[in-house]
Structure 1
């Protein structure tokens, strides 16, 4: 009896556990573009196009390799609109009574498959370095689940950048070398771009017709849609940008959206690239002497450190993690996040870039949009859904902990030891956004004062009872307390005015 082998849109890996478990002589691979996956949030058109185009090409590669693939396109008249519906339809066609699937990266879909009216076998997703059991074992008994210590275990496990039992060059972390402000010139043309072929063009036509009303520009579309192209994109980054990635990974420039970033996270997250092979190529470049240790270590930490850690937290904390709101923030997400008018140049530039590219790097997400949302007290569930919708590489297992935990501190400190908040001074130091802004970053109160300056102190004041004993925040409160009482009153009143304008839908 044949079985159905379900392959999801972010599982486009030939070594997928469900495919390894299958018998290509009798089992049937099921792949489907369904409305239930495109519509639960309004995904960026580029994200939908990438996944559909890569799915279609992966299905073609499986067929060429001898698999029986039953693929349903979104506009197929028989499309049931859901993954479970497609499984049941294919079961009726083939007589299959069992489904085999690699574990999805989202509790929503795991729950749907577990409750499907067909026997479903969910296999571990061993494309990750740390299994659920391994992460749970690491986390057990720890008072604080700090990524740095997990990362060191991942270094030991993989052997990446290790000299026997010790880290190469005697240190685990070279992050202090990776905080240089934005350079005047960037000697890199950005990620490798690919011209859409006829198959990709057909997907673009479909996405434009069906999802043209979603936030985000579909064109130009230049992303890799096959493993071969993704490998080329990786090589391009390693050869031409990696050496300076570390120095400027936190920097931001208005007219250079990519700086020295790889822009391959989406390819890793949908399965075109294996995370370990990516890290091995970076480590090989360091060993060959073509890139410095701060660049290689900083890049590898993002993948075997943060990426693996975020997945571990997501599955450890369970399905309700995205609903957490420990700070009690309830303000609605303002229209400026969807491209509405704002006089804040940093937010305008970041949201515009997000709309046009479906991409912003980690500091733009954390310290521009995320920082503003946290300072303004925006509902973290709405912030979570926005990040999940607008970014090409956003899948809930990695996006939710980054947003709910690290960015919005809505989990109460499971991930971050303190909230990631800052005034405008940090943004000015790490970017050129403040030049030409309607607000003055040096102005602390009054008309023209940078809203980040005002909201920063407002946030600290309103959450004082929660954070006053936090050792990492003591200097912040001591600075606040040293201000003259009338100055503090003015700051809070001006911040209240900013928030009132947000609530009224007026331009900030």
Structure 2
């Protein structure tokens, strides 16, 4: 008997395991734009438009490949409103005996499929380079699951940047070369952009009507929405941005939201690009002398190292991972994260570009918006939900470990060996934000002192019992202990004043 083949909006790959398992002559592909998936968090309009437009075009690709595709648009009056509802509706239409699905990337949807009132066979998502079993085998017996050691295993397995048994360039990691602040004459090319065609224009009109009240600017919309376009975006990055990506990957510059970053994660996470082909394109640039080792290694590490690692952590730790709050942080997310007024230039820059582009690079996410949330004691689930809502590349499998684990230390140290907190000096070193800020980054206390400075010490003091024995934080506590007692009291009072303003809904 025939079956339904479910293809989700982030599974737009022709070699998807569910498609390989299916019989093109008998089975029917089901794809659906459903309100439940668009609103379980209030996704950025650009993210919704990207997914819907890419889905519609991928459905056409499958039809051209000879598949029968039953595609439901959001405004279809018969739309059941949920993935399971659409499967049941299509099963009744086709007399299908069951469903084949590639594993979704969120426990939420896996649970829905596992409990659907129709027989559903969930297959491994082998678009990732490390299976769940691979990661479990690597993690077995380890006291600490550090990404660096997983990454080295992935390098050996894939052969990327390997010279026999040794890493190219004589070392595994060139991160120390990738922390330069941007020079004054920087001129990033930015990502390749695309004009919306008729299909995308129809989606934009739909998203504008249905989700126009969500946080984020929909137009202009310049994302790639097909594999061919995504491949062009990859080629553009490798030629124009990869050579200097490494040097300035941590740098932040006002008015330059993209710098030399690839802006390919949304396409990889949708399935339009494969992680290995992206890494091989970068490796070719190194082999041909068109990009230096520090840039190529840093880029490849983000994909076969970090991307594969956080996915492994998400599934290894289980469905409760995203709800962890080991630091017991409970403050509500401030209005500044939704575009509300703030006097902090760095926060304003990171949030405004997020609102406009559905994008911010990793240091803006980790050391600006994430750093502030951690220092201010914001509830990590509210922080994680914000990241899931506002970024075009965000899905829970990648966002929960990055936010709950790496950014907010809410997993208690599964991912990070220490919390990623800093005073304003780091942001000043890596950006030009502080030059135009109402606060003074050089002021540690008193009127006009940078909130990062006072909150930094307030965070360390209130969590001293947990972190004072951490070998990577001993120097911080030694510095704190050497301060004059009156100065410590002043710093803590100033930090508490910032928190009191947040609690009162006042501008910080």
TM range (shorter): over 0.9
Matching of residue 353 in structure 1 with residue 327 in structure 2: no
Aligned to 1:178: 178
Correspondences of 1:428-443 after superposition (within 5 Å): 428-443=428-443
Deviations 1:376-429 (A, max 9, x none): 000000000000000000010001000000000000000000000000000000
Correspondences of 1:258-273 after superposition (within 5 Å): 258-273=258-273
Q: Find the residue that maps to 1:319 and give its secondary structure.
A: coil
Uncovered stretches (5+) of structure 1, i.e. residues with no partner: none
Matching of residue 395 in structure 1 with residue 417 in structure 2: no
Aligned to 1:193: 193
Q: Find the residue that maps to 2:246 and give its secondary structure.
A: helix
| C-alpha separation in 2, matches of 1:241 and 1:453 | 34
Q: Find the residue that maps to 1:472 and give its secondary structure.
A: coil
Q: Find the residue that maps to 1:101 and give its secondary structure.
A: strand
Matching of residue 59 in structure 1 with residue 59 in structure 2: yes
Aligned to 1:147: 147
Counting matched residue pairs gives 508
| C-alpha separation in 1, matches of 2:268 and 2:16 | 13
Aligned to 2:506: 506
Q: Find the residue that maps to 2:181 and give its secondary structure.
A: coil
Aligned to 1:118: 118
Q: Find the residue that maps to 2:186 and give its secondary structure.
A: coil
Aligned to 1:257: 257
Aligned to 1:491: 491
Q: Is the 8 A contact 2:46 2:358 kept in 1?
A: yes
Aligned to 2:314: 314
Q: Is the 8 A contact 2:189 2:241 kept in 1?
A: no
Q: Find the residue that maps to 2:121 and give its secondary structure.
A: strand
Matching of residue 36 in structure 1 with residue 36 in structure 2: yes
State the superposition RMSD in angstroms.
0.5
TM norm structure 2: 1.00
Aligned to 1:456: 456
| C-alpha separation in 1, matches of 2:304 and 2:182 | 26
Correspondences of 1:203-214 after superposition (within 5 Å): 203-214=203-214
Q: Find the residue that maps to 1:121 and give its secondary structure.
A: strand
Offset of residue 301 of structure 1: 0.1
Offset of residue 182 of structure 1: 1.9
Offset of residue 185 of structure 1: 2.5
Deviations 1:114-156 (A, max 9, x none): 0000000000000001000000000010000000000000000
Matching of residue 75 in structure 1 with residue 55 in structure 2: no
Q: Find the residue that maps to 1:438 and give its secondary structure.
A: coil
Aligned to 1:46: 46
| C-alpha separation in 2, matches of 1:439 and 1:97 | 64
Deviations 1:171-221 (A, max 9, x none): 000000000012213333210000000110000000000000000000010
Q: Find the residue that maps to 2:428 and give its secondary structure.
A: helix
| C-alpha separation in 1, matches of 2:140 and 2:406 | 21
Aligned to 1:135: 135
| C-alpha separation in 2, matches of 1:143 and 1:331 | 32
| C-alpha separation in 1, matches of 2:142 and 2:197 | 51
Offset of residue 328 of structure 1: 0.3
| C-alpha separation in 2, matches of 1:394 and 1:134 | 24
Correspondences of 1:405-416 after superposition (within 5 Å): 405-416=405-416
| C-alpha separation in 1, matches of 2:122 and 2:199 | 31
Deviations 1:96-118 (A, max 9, x none): 02100000000000000000000
Aligned to 2:480: 480
Aligned to 2:294: 294
Q: Find the residue that maps to 1:434 and give its secondary structure.
A: helix
Q: Find the residue that maps to 2:435 and give its secondary structure.
A: coil
| C-alpha separation in 2, matches of 1:17 and 1:222 | 30
Q: Find the residue that maps to 2:5 and give its secondary structure.
A: strand
Offset of residue 325 of structure 1: 0.3
TM norm structure 1: 1.00
Q: Kindly report structure 1 stretches of 4+ aligned residues shifted beyond 6 Å.
A: none
Offset of residue 170 of structure 1: 1.0
Q: Is the 8 A contact 2:5 2:27 kept in 1?
A: yes
| C-alpha separation in 1, matches of 2:165 and 2:295 | 21
Aligned to 2:235: 235
| C-alpha separation in 2, matches of 1:477 and 1:438 | 29
Aligned to 1:470: 470
Deviations 1:261-320 (A, max 9, x none): 110100000000000000000001100011000000000000000000000000000001
| C-alpha separation in 2, matches of 1:275 and 1:185 | 32
**Stretch moving more, 135-144 or 186-195:** 186-195
Deviations 1:451-471 (A, max 9, x none): 000000000000000000000
| C-alpha separation in 2, matches of 1:113 and 1:465 | 43
Q: Find the residue that maps to 2:472 and give its secondary structure.
A: helix
Aligned to 1:11: 11
Deviations 1:2-39 (A, max 9, x none): 10000000000000000001111110000000011011
Correspondences of 1:342-381 after superposition (within 5 Å): 342-381=342-381
Aligned to 1:88: 88
Offset of residue 436 of structure 1: 1.4
Q: Find the residue that maps to 2:399 and give its secondary structure.
A: helix
